[in-house]
Structures are given as C-alpha cells and as structure tokens.
Structure 1
Amino acid sequence: MTAAKAFAGAWIEDRRGDWSAWNREIWDYGETAWREYRSAAWYVDRLEAAGFAVERASGGMPTAFAARRGTTGGPTIAAYAEYDGVPDNCQAADVRPGPRPGLSLRAGGHTDPHSALGIAALVGALAAAAAMEAKGLRGEVALFGEPAEKVRGSKPIHAARGYYDDLDAAISFHPFYMLPLCNTARWDTHCGAGYAWVYRFLCETPETWPAYAPQGNHRVDSPIPASHAAPRAPGANDAVIQMYIQGKAAKEHLLPSGLSWSINETILTAGQATADNLPALEAEIMYMARVPDVALAEHVVAGLDRIAEAAAQASHCRWERQWIAKSRPGLANHAMASLTYGNLAAVGAPVFDGEACELARAIQRTLGDAPQDSPFLPQISELLEPQAAETALRQMLSPQQTHFTSDDYTEYCWHCPTARFYVGRPALAPRPGGGAYPAWVMNALGGLAPCIDPMIEAAAKTIAFTILDLVERPETLRQATAEFVQRTGGGVGGEGWLAPLCDYPPPIDLRWPEYVTTARGTDWHIPARQR
C-alpha cells in the first residue's frame, strides 16, 4: 500500500463518527427527485469547507452541483453522490415499522439507500483529495451531485452540457441490490438504456363537447355549459385511465419476448375537478422504460405515443410529451473494473457483527421470526470476482441481450473510462420457511449506523484508493484510456461513440412531491405545477 493510500485509509477511519452522523442526517432528510434542497445544500457546505470549488445548481438543476479540488498537471478523476429518496417509504431508523417522527408513511425515504451511496462517495473523494495534498500528488478530484437518479434525472443533462468532457476516469458505486452483483464490479454486462417521460393530457375546451338533444331534433342548451343538465366532456382523468389501461395491454406488442426489460408507469397527477359535472382539465402519467438499447427505447416511445393520441381523441383532450430522462447503455472497461475490484478486495468485504447482529435479530423478533445466530445474508460479506459475477449474471439472460437493468451511471461511460462496483449492504438472511421481508426492513437497516456503516467504510476506501491509484500509476490510467478508445472506435466522437441523447431542459417544473413547512409544521405535499 502506498503512503497516499495509507493516509486516505487512516483519514476515513479517524472520521468514522463524523461520516456516520452525516449519513444519518441525509437519511433523515428523505428528500425525493428534483426536490433535494436540504441535501444538496448540505453537500455543498461540506465540500466548500474542505477546499473544493463548487458550482451550485450545475446544468440548470437547482439540486445539482459540480465540485473540484486539486492541482493542474495531473488527471481528473470523478465520483458522484446521489441523495434522492422515494415517496411512500418514510421509515424510521428503528427495529419496528413506522414513519420518522412528525411524518406519515407517504413521505420520502431512502430505499437503496442513496443516502449511504452519496456519503461513501463524498468520504472517498475527501480522503483522496486530502491524501493528494498531503503527499504532493498532482491531479484533481471531481465530485458531482446527481439528483433525481430514481427517474434517471441529472446525469444525462450533465453529460449533454459538457460537465464530463474533461474527465480522465470515473468511479461509480452503488449499494448491493441484487445477486450476484454484490462485493464485485461490473464486467461486460452493464446497465442498459433508461428512458423516462410524461404524457400530459389537457381538456382545454370542455364546452365544445357535443351537446345532448333530448327533444327530437330540437336542441336544448343549458345556460351554463357545465351545468348538471348538460353532458360533461370526458376530460383528462379519462384520458389518463385510457392511457394506463391500453399501455398495460400493449406491452407485449412493444417489446420482444425472451429479453429482460420493463415498462413501468405512475400517475403523477389527476385532475383537480371538485364537482361531478366538471371535467378534469389536466392529468399526467409518467413512464419509464428500462431496456437493453436505445433503438428498443425509441420503439417503445413511438408505440406509447400512438396510444396517447388515441386516448386524447377519445377523451376530448390534446396531449403533450415531456422528457424526464434519456440515458445511454453502459460501456465496459475491464481495466477500470479490475483496478476497482482489486482495491475492494484489499479493503475487504464489509463485516456485520456485534450490535448490527443484535439489531437484525430485534427486527426478526418484531416480524415474529425466531432470531438467527447469523441474521444477515452471507453474500453481503463475501467477495466475488467480476468475471465470476459476469458468468452468474449471464445465466439469467438471453445470449443476445447485451445489457441488463438500468442506472444512469452509464452516462459517464461514454466520456471516460468508468468502473461500476457494488458493496454489500445490510440484508437479512432468508426467513425460515421462505417468504419476503416487508420493504420497511431494508429501509430501516439503511438508517441504523451499526448496520450501514460497514458498507460505507468499505465503499469509501475503495473509491479513495482507486482515485489514488489512477493518480500515482499513470500506466494503469493509460491502459484504461486505451481500452476506452478501442471500445468507442476512437474515443469521444469516434465511430463507435454514442453522443448524449439529452435534448430537453431539466424537468424541474413538474409536480414532483416535496416537503413544505406551514403553520401546521412540516408535511408532505404534491404542489401545483408552475407554468
């Protein structure tokens, strides 16, 4: 281990109490996509205090940032923090189900958890930057604040606006979320394309809906166009319902069988009509397609566009499509994967023992299960070579499928050599007799320091050590860069390179749910969209 890496490792260990508290603070904020105001401000304050130059609201996104620290004359190595949670997951850091104090279960919470993802990246970047300064190493550490990952939000925008253009390498970390991707690095099969968009239905002229003529050929008009005696236009709610149902029915016609893919939808807003004879004037439904490649994503959008047109015509509406995300599929880099996994192996898989096990057993008792001597899933403390993980992953997939699942770290892959690695997060061992654990269990484990801290430490050290290797070992970076150039057919702009797909502004004007403070206190709220 080099002196710089030893310095960074000690730096992380000495500040365990600090970063453990940091994770809990972000976890307790529980802010969701595009509304992570307190979380982003917290990160910016910490980075500026540590000597980073920070651009706030980078890319036109109020809760994004771009931070740099270091010297010229060396490489620029990037990592990133995510900090968005998910609505309807407001779990307390407790061994029993229940929301955080003063809130309902409908509020936001961290499921993956992005709170720990972001803190691990922050701590790794801070440690690497401190080590570089202490040991006189030339180079720059970049840390990006990436909001709204749950809807693939910021990275396509950052990429399209040039924020990744001068990076020499990037490191992407995510807590384990599925086997075999645990304590390993992605090898060949990276995440696929992710498209997200909103259909907006607008019933702007309900009074032009054909009038009813009850007396033969004599038309009887009500003096009030929307009175109880007149027919009511179907309106936007009807359009969304038609869209939802027809979209469900058409999935088998939009995507081929034999591939692992998904199209999911959520109704963002329904019309605000307050009387039975008033049609809903506006309603929105969001779709996300997680597919292997861009061509398939475009095919899905075209098919759903046709359904939107039909739903609008049937419901006396017009429709609009607003883009949320267009993320590219990932690009492998074996040199980066090998380097990153080597550092993870040197650090060691996280160990969950002592108080963490006691908390896990308490959760098992809450669920009415017998507490286990070894309450955690064994794989979260076991290393897995990237090639072995690749072999196991391919057994789940069709031979012709090149990508699997979706995450927008893939945007970095097309601008510099990028590694994607996973570290085991606290997950309980299988229940006696089978059956799934309720969702609150893993959410709660992400807020309990003895359970989540081992993952944060392992990930932070891996990030810091990999940054330092890329700075101290130019031949390793040259190897990764050569592979990047080869895979893209010449590097950025090469014949095999895929340019950013983002051709839309940040979708910050939608009715994303958020916290509001009134005379009643802080509560969860779905606001009106500002036009």
Structure 2
Amino acid sequence: MKQILIAILTITSTFHCLAQSNNKAIDALKNETALSIQSGFDAYKKIAFNIWEYAELGYKENKSAALLRSTLKENGFTVEVGVAGIPTAFVATYGSGSPVIGILAEYDALPGLSQDNSPTKTPVANKNSAHACGHHLFGTGSVAAGIAISKLLEAGKIKGTIKVFGCPAEEGGSGKVYMVREGLFQNVDIVLHWHPSDHNSVMYTSVLANKSAKFRFYGNASHASVSPEQGRSALDAVEAMDYMVNMMREHIPQETRLHYVITNGGKAPNVVPEFAEVYYYVRHPDKTMAVSIFDRITKAAEGAAMGTETKMEYEIIGGTHDLLINKTLAENMQTNLEKVGGVTYTADEIAFAKIIQTSFLTNETPINAAATVQPLHIQKNQGSTDVGDVSYVVPTVGLEAATWVPGTSYHSWQAVACGGTDIGIKGMMIASKTMAFTAIDLFTNPELIKKAKLEFLQSKGSYQYKALLGDRKPALNYRD
C-alpha cells in the first residue's frame, strides 16, 4: 500500500512539474510577444495616424486597406484582395494547418465630426469625415497582433494558421455580413477582435441586432405657389412616414431603438419636391423582433405613399445580428488583459485629459480609470456591430481598450482628438498584446478551443444563420 501511495505521489508531482514547466514556457512566449509588439510602437503609430488622417468612409477605404495589406505582405502574409465582392475587404493568411485563429480588423471612418488632435473643439477645414470610433486604431492593432503571432509561427514556437480579416464598412455598411455570407469564416476555429473605448474590459455583453434601409419617395414637382395642386410632395410622404413611426414608438418593446435622418428633402421651398429619402435604423436585442419592427416600419412607408399619392421603394442597407457571448473565451481573455494591464498617462497626457474632460456634458470618471482593468461583468450596451454575425458562425471573443480619455463617448469629436495622440496608441497596444496572448493560449491549448466550440454550439442551439440583409449585393455606395 505504501508503495502505491509513493507511486501516486510521484506521478502527481511529475504532472505538476510538467504543468509548471508548460506554464513557464507559455509565459515566456507571451513576454516575447509583448516585447515584439512594443518594439513596433513607432511603426504602428505611424500606420494608425496615416489611417486617422485618411479618414475614409465605409467601402471607400482604399488607402487605409492598402496600407494594412502592404504591412501584412511585408511580414510574409499571403493576402487575398477584394473578397466577398468588396474592393476594400481582404483576408491575410500566415502559416498552415490547425488551429486556425482569426483576428478582425476595421478601418472605416464616420461622416462629419471633423477634428484635429487638440483637447478643444477644432474642426479641420475641408475635412468632412473623421475616426470618431477609433477604427484606425482597431485595424492597426489587429494587424500588429497578427504579425506578432506570425513571428512565433515562423520560429516554430507554435503551430497552426493566423488569419487577419480586413473588414470594411462596419459603421452601417455591414461589411462582415457579406464576408460571413461568402463563407470566409467557415474553417476558422476562433475569432478575436477588439474595439477602442474609454476603459479596459472584456466584452461580456451582447449588442443590439440592427436592420437599416433607405426609403425613397417619388412625387410630382410643381411651383409651390403658382400651381400647388399639380404637385405631389415626396417630402410630405417622408414626414408622414416619420410621424407614423414616431407614434409607433408607444407600441413597441421598450428595448427597441429607432433612429432616422432625412438624407434628401428637396432643394428649394418654392418647388414641390419630386424626390425625398429617409434613412432608418431599427435595433432590438432580439434579431427576430428587429425584423418584425422593421416590417411594421415598411407598412408606415407604404401608408405614407398611399396618403400622399406618391410612389415608394426601399433599399436594405444593412442588417446585423446580436452578439453571442462565449464565457470560456471571455474568461481566458480576461486573464490575459489583466496580465497586460491598463494605460499609464504622462504628465502632458494628464493635462490633455483634464482639458478635454471639461468639454463633457457629464463627467464622473476619474482619469486614472484608464490604468485599471474592469472585472468581467455584464454591462449595458445599446450599440450594434456586424461582429455579431461572425459570432453566429464561429466562437468569438473581444475586448475594449482605453484609447480615449475616460468619460469620452463613442462618435464624438473628443474621440477623434484622443485617437490622434499617443493616448490612442497606448490603448491600441494594450488591445494588440491581449489578443496576441489569447491567441497563444489557443494555439497551445487544444482543450480551450474544444470547450469554446462546445459552448458555442449550446448557445446557438438550433438557430440556422441567415443574413438579415438577405441576398443583396454589398451596398458599396451607401455613404453617397
């Protein structure tokens, strides 16, 4: 009996030593990777600032996508360009065999919100777009993580394939949906992503499903004073539709978000508008409810056309799913984010932060919040992203990193300003290292992938993915 106990203790001790040895080896890989990414700080900063300066809108990101592609090619990646019928979409691949880990990269800007990199509101003359959501950092940070992993593959320290997906037009264009529909994620085991923010946390909350469309009305032009009876106003139809939709808000689930902008309302008050257009977003936590509410909005459009004796047509612009959360992956990424840590500001950056915080309508977040990592928790999220569609076909996990001064909101001039400084670059490096660390765990631990896939199948259940935007071709001119 004594000999059996000794044997058991010996085996247990051996396994414990092997585990410790393996953990030390993985930690060494992560430390090496962190140094590799940090050593590229200036180079990646230059890339990010170039894209910040380009500020190209969705599906028009020609220079931005080309810069990221060339960076990947220079580092040995094979790049497929123009995937899914989108000129600015790409897939960059390094390595071979399993596992296959994907990293998402975005790089589209938003219309308006022109701003330089100063802490006071200072629009840039003759510039009508800006990176108010930090996608210049998103794309660059993801590329940096992919390159860091490729170096480990090249050295034979890990085995498998890394893919960087160049994803255009996240802001309303649903670029990833077309890439999912094309089957580009079919053989990918796990997908990693991140997003700029004012804090550091792992995404552990779903997003709102979203369906959007442009409703176009056609009437008859006439002189609004001399012969108004000859006119049928397309603008009247838009306003009638908007009125009905706004009345409908009382009779839809409170979690719903409806918003619109009139993109064309005529050219002169004394001319009855023969054409008008309104652009709608419908959001809801449940994808089926979002579609149902969208269908009700189309009925309002039909009624408006009937009542104003105009003709109506609509074009689906985008449609995105909610986000499937994967606890297995989120817990692993949380460990890695805590290992990387938050952002430390210099004295000049603290001064910048104090000035920019004075422009916030409300400010309850201390500046040093950027240096901390939030615990894994469910938080309120009323946004939408086409990453949701990716999460329905492959296990997906992401994080937010403090690229903006704490308290900064998405889609603001303050976000543009922070993104054009080292404050943004520092946060980008946090995200890049965290994704790379998570990828290392996935490459070296097959059981982690197996567990994440099992959870993914349980979360998805019997649902069969189908793009909410149907079979339409990419809306390449949706910003026109």
TM-score w.r.t. the length of structure 2 is 0.86
**Which residue does 1:413 correspond to in 2?**
391
Structure 1 residue ranges without an equivalent (≥5)? 210-224, 397-402, 431-435, 490-494, 514-531
Q: Would the alpha carbon gap of residues 32 and 132 (structure 1) be closer, same or farther in structure 2, given more than 3 Å must change?
A: same
For residue 19 of structure 2, what is the aligned residue in structure 1? none
Partner of 1:218: none
How far apart are the structure 2 equivalents of 1:412 and 1:290?
A: 18
Partner residue of 1:49?
A: 74
CA shift in 2, pair 1:343/1:357, >3 Å? same
| 2:449 matches 1:477 | yes
1:111 corresponds to 2:132:
yes
Structure 1 residue 506: deviation in Å?
Answer: 3.6
Q: 2:374 aligns with which of 378, 384, 402?
A: 384
Alignment partner for residue 38 of structure 1, among 63, 69, 76?
63
Q: Is the 8 A contact 2:180 2:389 kept in 1?
A: yes
Which residues of structure 2 form unaligned runs of 5+?
Answer: 1-25
Cα distance change, pair 299–12 in 1 and its aligned pair in 2 (3 A): same
Distance in 2 (alpha carbons) for counterparts of 1:191 and 1:127:
30
Q: Secondary structure at the match of 1:469?
A: helix
- List per-residue Cα deviations over 1:457-502 (Å, max 9, x = no partner): 110001111112111111211111222223234xxxxx24434334
**Quick check: 1:137–1:472 contact (8 Å CA) kept in 2?**
yes
Give, as a single letter, the amino acid of the residue that structure 2 aligns with 1:116: L
Aligned length: 454
User: Structure 1, residues 189-217: CA drift from partner, whole Å, max 9, x if none?
Assistant: 311311111112123xx38x9xxxxxxxx
- Looking at structure 1, the residues matched to 155 and 123 of structure 2 have their Cα atoms a distance apart, in angstroms, of 44
CA distance in 1, matches of 2:96, 2:335: 26
1:381 partner amino acid: A
Supply the distance in 2 between the matched residues of 1:250 and 1:464 (Cα, whole angstroms).
46
Secondary structure of 2:171's aligned partner: helix
User: Amino acid of the residue matched to residue 265 of structure 2?
Assistant: A
Give how far 1:2 is off: 3.8
Secondary structure in structure 1 of the residue aligned to 2:112: coil
| Alpha carbons of structure 1 residues 377 and 329: separation in structure 2 relative to 1, 3 Å | same
Provide the residue aligned with 2:270 in structure 1.
Answer: 276
Q: 1:197 to 1:16 in 2, by over 3 A?
A: same
Structure-to-structure mapping, 1:374-453, within 5 angstroms:
377-386=367-376, 389-390=377-378, 393=379, 405-428=383-406, 439-449=412-422, 451-453=423-425
Aligned partners of 1:296, 1:161: CA distance in 2, in Å?
A: 25
Match 1:467 to one of 431, 436, 439: 439
Contact 1:323–1:507 (Cα < 8 Å) also in 2: no
Checking the alignment, whether the CA contact within 8 Å between 2:47 and 2:67 is kept in structure 1 is no
Give the Cα separation in 2 of the matches to 1:497 and 1:66.
25
TM-superposed deviation, 1:35 = 2.0
For residue 41 of structure 2, the aligned residue among 8, 11, 16 is 16
Write 1 or 2 for the structure with the bigger share of helix.
Answer: 2
- Alignment correspondent of 1:94: 118
Q: State the Cα deviation string for residues 16-66 of structure 1 (Å, max 9, x = none).
A: 111111111111111222322221222222222222222222111222222
- What is residue 123 of structure 1 aligned with on the other side? 144
Question: 1:267-416, aligned counterparts within 5 Å?
Answer: 267-271=262-266, 273=267, 276-277=270-271, 279-363=272-356, 377-386=367-376, 389-390=377-378, 393=379, 405-416=383-394
CA contact (8 A) 1:291 1:405 kept: no
Amino acid across the alignment from 2:35: A
Distance across 2 between alignment mates of 1:300 and 1:137: 48
Deviation, structure 1 residue 442: 3.0
Cα gap change, 1:128 to 1:297, in 2 (>3 Å): same
Q: Structure 2 CA distance, aligned partners of 1:78 and 1:437?
A: 25
1:25 match = 50
Q: Does 2:475 correspond to 1:503? A: no
Matched, 1:172 2:193: yes
The 1:462–1:496 alpha-carbon spacing in structure 2 relative to 1, beyond 3 Å, is same
User: For residue 256 of structure 2, what is the aligned residue in structure 1?
Assistant: 261
- Structure 1 CA distance for aligned equivalents of residues 355 and 276 of structure 2: 44
Contact 2:141 2:432 in 1 (8 A): yes
